[in-house]
């Protein structure tokens, strides 16, 4: 009986320690990449503001070209929603909505993932002129993991996980626009 009580105390102490560590662990993450494209800023922005064009450069869209896609609203405007459903677990099911546009320079998205996990994250793309017919495009992704799931951020490097996909997507975007 004493051994069982000792084991129970150790287990409870371990769980308490995990919860305490989670309480002091950062819950926010952000991944940002950029690319320079030899094209005028207006042309680049007018391309990236349309969610349907992401099928031509987004790594996630290219992972399952046969995914089911549905659209609601007018593409390139606030409120437009692009939804996807895929059997590929790397793609899953979710939707992306344009939540803000700063004409010619920034577009913000809300990403709602439903499968294989539920999570709401945010993304943005900015365009900045870097000279004649040269544009810097920045693609950022950020979110927050709820307590105590934020503890996973100690073991997961979101920059390492998402960065290469953003880089590959930006390279495809560059190839498409140059």
CATH number at residue 100: 3.30.530.20
Residue 122 forms part of a structural domain:
yes
122: which strand partners? 110, 142
CB 41 within 8 A of CB 128: yes
- At 8-65, the pLDDT tens digits run 788 877 777 776 666 666 678 788 899 999 999 999 999 999 999 998 998 888 888 8
- What pLDDT score was predicted for residue 22? 62
Classify residue 103: in a domain, yes or no: yes
Instruction: Name the domain count of the chain.
Output: 1
Instruction: Please report whether residue 9 resides in a domain.
Output: no
Q: State the CB neighbour count (10 A cutoff) for residue 75.
A: 15
124 or 7, higher pLDDT: 124
Residue 20 resides in a domain: no
Q: Domain of 66?
A: 28-177
63-103 tens-digit pLDDT: 888 889 999 999 999 999 999 999 888 888 999 999 999 99
Single out the residue of 115, 113, 112 nearest to residue 88, CA to CA: 115
Q: Is 145 exposed, middle or buried (0-12, 13-18, 19+ CB in 10 A)?
A: buried
Amino acid 59: pLDDT? 85
């Amino acid at each position: 009986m004493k051994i069982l009580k000792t084991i129970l105390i150790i287990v409870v102490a371990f769980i308490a320690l995990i919860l305490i560590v989670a309480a002091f662990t950062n819950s926010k993450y952000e991944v940002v990449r950029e690319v320079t494209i030899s094209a005028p800023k207006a042309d680049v922005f007018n391309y990236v503001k349309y969610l349907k064009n992401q099928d031509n450069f987004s790594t996630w869209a290219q992972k399952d070209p046969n995914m089911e896609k549905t659209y609601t609203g007018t593409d390139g405007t606030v409120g437009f929603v692009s939804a996807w459903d895929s059997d590929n677990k790397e793609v899953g099911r979710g939707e992306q909505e344009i939540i803000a546009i700063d004409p010619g320079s920034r577009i913000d998205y809300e990403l709602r993932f439903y499968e294989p996990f539920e999570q709401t994250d945010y993304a943005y793309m900015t365009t900045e002129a870097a000279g004649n017919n040269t544009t810097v495009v920045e693609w950022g992704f950020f979110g927050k993991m709820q307590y105590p799931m934020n503890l996973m951020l100690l073991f997961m490097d979101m920059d390492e996980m998402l960065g290469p996909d953003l880089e590959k997507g930006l390279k495809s975007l560059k190839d498409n626009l140059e």
